[in-house]
Amino acid sequence: MERYFAPCPRGLETALADELQRLCAGDIEPADGGVAFAGALELAYRANLESRLASRVLWRVGDGAYRDERDVYALAYHRDWPRWFRADRTLRVDVAATRSPLKSLEFATLRIKDAVCDRHRAVAGKRPTVSKDHPDVRVHAYLTADHATFYLDTSGEPLFKRGYRRETTEAPLRENLAAGLLRLAGWQPGTPLLDPMCGSGTIAIEAALMALDIAPGLKRTFGFQKLAWYDGPTWQRIKQAAQRRAKPPVPIGIYASDDDASAIQRCAANLVTAGASGVVSVERVDALARAAPEPPGVIVTNPPYGVRQADSAALAAFYPQLGDALKQRFAGWTAYLFSGDPRLPKLIGLKASRRTPLFNGALECRLYEYRLVAGSARRAHAVIK
């Protein structure tokens, strides 16, 4: 039984644990910022291919107690790196830490890199070379106050890089965060879905991939393909089974719109690359004027917000108008608004029935749930202090 850790955007740990359960993982333990789990090596192939929420799948290769950099070097040196990858692979080491007493994580990273390379030289007479940008193999170390854990990254490029998004708007959501919003909203294929401020279309595209049962990793390669245990025929079998499962792209009640012409163009181009063109209805229209598709469904959207979009006064004026538009045109729908702007819930004039904290990178955000039942709206808009 192998042990793994899958990091994910903070706030999605429970949803990721559910997803891993559906992939038949064992010993599932959500932690802060990811989920630990266990299973055979084959599970690494499937988790990379199928997980919509994980950022990576790390394969745990050892751990131990440490007090200083020398201990960290010794712990790393005593892992059997030459058994796991060849010395002619290029290498990158990343270290993350919580409450580590070490003065410099950069120095710890260097020492781990030295240990891995020294071990290779001792066994094979050859050292791997370092590549920061396009490494074949990534080693991750996680340091707590007194414990170091080492991982080999089975993903390579992070899993939110699905390979469909060539065209982005200014503030695109990461694909796994978009998929996570859909999961937290409880959206299921078959229920109408609208993103009225779709930008490059990430939410709608993730929904389309879910509805068509297209595995998110079908269009890319993975780090495990550079590891010694990689078994090509097994991988092909798993991948082909996923390919056979995919449904043909037909319109399925997913709607994306934006008032920006270039965003709409990008969204349409990304849908083509994702193999989901024709599935999502894409339209250029102002969210404040948009009519509700029939029958009622779910809105999941990521309105513009202050940190990235300079015009904060315009936003303060926009939120109450958005609240009014939702009230007037979307009775019967449930809206999920994802935002890092604390003014949104104060100014929108609707009462949130749920607020889920989430992180978009380092930015603390919330997913606000609004049940748009006629007459449920708060009368007056609160005033911000």
Ligand X SMILES: C[S@@+](CC[C@H](N)C(=O)[O-])C[C@H]1O[C@@H](n2cnc3c(N)ncnc32)[C@H](O)[C@@H]1O
Give the interface with ligand X as residue ranges (CB under 6 A): 169, 171-173, 196-197, 199-200, 202-203, 258-260, 263, 286-288, 302, 304
Shortest CB 76 distance to ligand X, Å: 38
Comparing CB distances to ligand X, the nearer of 100 and 270 is 270
In degrees and rounded to multiples of 5, residue 242 shows phi and psi of: -70, -40
3-state secondary structure of 32: coil
CA angle 299, 300, 302 (to 5 degrees): 125
Q: How far is CA 293 from the centre of its chain?
A: 28
Comparing CB distances to ligand X, the nearer of 128 and 199 is 199
Q: Please state, in angstroms and rounded to a whole number, the distance separating the CA atoms of residues 58 and 287.
A: 40
Tell me which residue has its CB nearest to ligand X. Answer: 199
Q: Please state, in angstroms and rounded to a whole number, the distance separating the CA atoms of residues 282 and 272.
A: 12
Comparing CB distances to ligand X, the nearer of 169 and 273 is 169
Q: Tokens 């979307």 — which residue?
A: 330
CB 247 within 8 A of CB 212: yes
Close Cβ partners of 151 (under 8 Å, ≥ 6 residues apart): 5, 58, 59, 60, 61, 139, 140, 141, 142
Compute the half-sphere exposure of residue 297: CA atoms within 13 Å on the CB side of its CA. 23
Shortest CB 204 distance to ligand X, Å: 9
Comparing CB distances to ligand X, the nearer of 24 and 307 is 307
Shortest CB 71 distance to ligand X, Å: 43
Shortest CB 370 distance to ligand X, Å: 17
Shortest CB 231 distance to ligand X, Å: 36
339: nearest Cα among 313, 317, 364? 364
Q: Please state, in angstroms and rounded to a whole number, the distance separating the CA atoms of residues 53 and 181.
A: 10
Shortest CB 295 distance to ligand X, Å: 22
Comparing CB distances to ligand X, the nearer of 20 and 159 is 159
Shortest CB 282 distance to ligand X, Å: 12
- With both helix axes pointing from N to C terminus, report the angle between 13-22 and 175-184 in degrees, rounded to the nearest 10: 90
